[in-house]
Amino acid sequence: MAVRSPASRIRRTVAPLALCAGLTVGLGACAADPDEGTNGVGRLSAPEIEQKAQTAADSAKAVRLAGTLVSKGGTYKLDMRLKQDGATGSVATKNSTFELLRVGDALYLKADADFWAHEETATAEPTDADAEAADTLDDMYVKVPQDDPSYKQLRGFTEMDVLLDGLIGLHGTTVKGDRDQIGGVRTVKVKGGEDGEGGTLDVALDGSPYPLRFARGGGAGVVVLSEWNKEFPLEEPSQEETLDYGMQLPRT
């Protein structure tokens, strides 16, 4: 039996490594697979990734949505926990912040006295009656009547399906983008258009392919989606915490 010399054994070990290095430069054959250990959606085309994310979102029972939206000249900062039968969280605009709570069809608005006080105008200042009413409503859950003009608008901030459908849809031809991380979770980007002018969606590569971040096109806001399927309690406030104005909210 022939005994190989140490030099021969070294050559046999080094040769495949050198070959692999050469292939890495030329073909990437020995590079680490970026999709190893993932859910595999990174291997799909951009339209397929978007569809996987949409399907995962449609089947979810709960989500937390936080971020900034620009709509019709107004900027809204949202931090809402949403599920099919209700929601709870806060909405902030340039001039005010308020909380929303929806349990089924019952919608409640909670804000401080400044929110309820009538704004000073060029011709009139808030009256004593305005101030008294605002103090009464301060930090109370005010039930929003379903016949009130603001009910539909405010409820839109609490509708899980409505918000998700409006936020994670890309416009234009979809293009697969770079890999990233959101909250420690690996993601792959899908863009609407080459430069993301139709929005950019980050889809999870770990676990279910949930959408984790959506940047709206034209700088119209960025939202982060987290706590998918995480249950949270929804209860109507007690009578001591609630004011019911009947058919219409006080003017504000």
The pLDDT tens digits along the chain (252 residues) read 555 554 454 345 444 444 444 444 444 445 578 788 999 999 999 999 999 999 999 999 999 999 998 887 789 999 999 999 999 999 998 888 999 999 999 999 999 888 887 554 444 565 655 666 677 788 899 999 998 888 999 999 999 999 998 877 899 999 999 999 999 999 999 999 999 999 999 999 999 999 999 999 888 899 999 999 999 999 999 999 998 766 556 554
| CATH architecture label of 41-244 | Clam (2.50)
Using a cut of 0.75, tell me whether the model's pTM lies above it.
yes
CB-CB neighbours of 164 under 10 Å: 21
Domain residue ranges in the chain:
41-244
